[in-house]
A and B are shown apart, each in its own frame.
Chain A
Amino acid sequence: GESVGLHLPTLSVQEGDNSIINCAYSNSASDYFIWYKQESGKGPQFIIDIRSNMDKRQGQRVTVLLNKTVKHLSLQIAATQPGDSAVYFCAENTGGFKTIFGAGTRLFVKA
């Protein structure tokens, strides 16, 4: 069935270091992927997205990499800050704009 999963449930990084959050997906028909950030007590918030015809997309301090060969997605955060502490979800869109979320990775940023 459809599933989106993550390699690590928790990631702890030092402030100023780069963070890499990984995600595996299983539906080869998914054509659009999104990373969301969820802070405590809030709903998920859009960070960055990528279409399946791309392998890299950059935003402000964030980069998403897509490897369709191995069905792998990653989110890179440069110069991680305390405000980046949150749970990060990758999500995939299948036909009909159905968005499926993975289990999430909790990022801790140590000062």
Chain B
Amino acid sequence: EAGVAQSPRYKIIEKRQSVAFWCNPISGHATLYWYQQILGQGPKLLIQFQNNGVVDDSQLPKDRFSAERLKGVDSTLKIQPAKLEDSAVYLCASRPHSSGGSSGANVLTFGAGSRLTVL
């Protein structure tokens, strides 16, 4: 099966500009996640969608970050205006809807990420 697709792979912008990242999860995966990974750190959850609804956005800086998954499939993450500290890799991941008794169903499949540099 095709993996999680993300674009662009790299983006360089100046502070106060805006940027948008796109993610297409694995077909049929109901749950979609956006993580921010700053260099040398582990991924930090920004937002979690179940179909087109938000499950958890407690760590999303809502004054500048927004995300949507309008049709319950692909998703966009936007930053406006960007700050220097937003420089990071933005990872999208997806997971099947039902966990059942199978531990594999709880595993996230990640895309390659979008690397953002804010100058």
Where the two chains meet, the residues of A that have a C-beta atom closer than 8 Å to any C-beta of B are 4, 32, 34, 41-46, 49-51, 89, 91, 93, 96-104
- Contact between B42 and A32 (Cβ–Cβ < 8 Å)? no
Where the two chains meet, the residues of B that have a C-beta atom closer than 8 Å to any C-beta of A are 4, 31, 33, 35, 40-45, 48, 55-56, 91, 93, 95, 99, 103-104, 106-113
- Contact between A102 and B42 (Cβ–Cβ < 8 Å)? yes
- Contact between B107 and A46 (Cβ–Cβ < 8 Å)? yes
- Contact between A101 and B44 (Cβ–Cβ < 8 Å)? yes
List chain B residues, Cβ under 8 A from A46.
Answer: 107-109
In this complex, the member of A4, A44, A98 whose beta carbon has the largest number of chain B beta carbons within 10 angstroms is A44
Majority DSSP secondary structure for residues of A touching B: strand
Chain B: which residue is nearest A32 at the CB level?
B106
CB distance from B99 to the nearest CB of A (A): 7
Checking B42, B55, B107, B109 against A96 with a beta-carbon cut-off of 8 angstroms, the contacting residue is B55
* Distance in angstroms between the alpha carbons of A34 and B106 in the assembled complex: 9
* Distance in angstroms between the alpha carbons of A45 and B108 in the assembled complex: 8
Chain B: which residue is nearest A46 at the CB level?
B107
- Contact between B42 and A41 (Cβ–Cβ < 8 Å)? no
- Given the known interface contacts A43-B113, A104-B41, the answer about A51 and B33 at a Cβ–Cβ threshold of 8 Å is no
Checking A32, A34, A45, A99 against B33 with a beta-carbon cut-off of 8 angstroms, the contacting residue is A99
- Contact between A103 and B108 (Cβ–Cβ < 8 Å)? no
- Contact between A96 and B33 (Cβ–Cβ < 8 Å)? no
Checking A42, A43, A89 against B42 with a beta-carbon cut-off of 8 angstroms, the contacting residue is A89
Chain A: which residue is nearest B109 at the CB level?
A46
CB distance from B58 to the nearest CB of A (A): 9
7 contacts between A and B (CB under 8 A): A34-B106, A34-B107, A46-B109, A89-B43, A98-B56, A103-B41, A104-B42
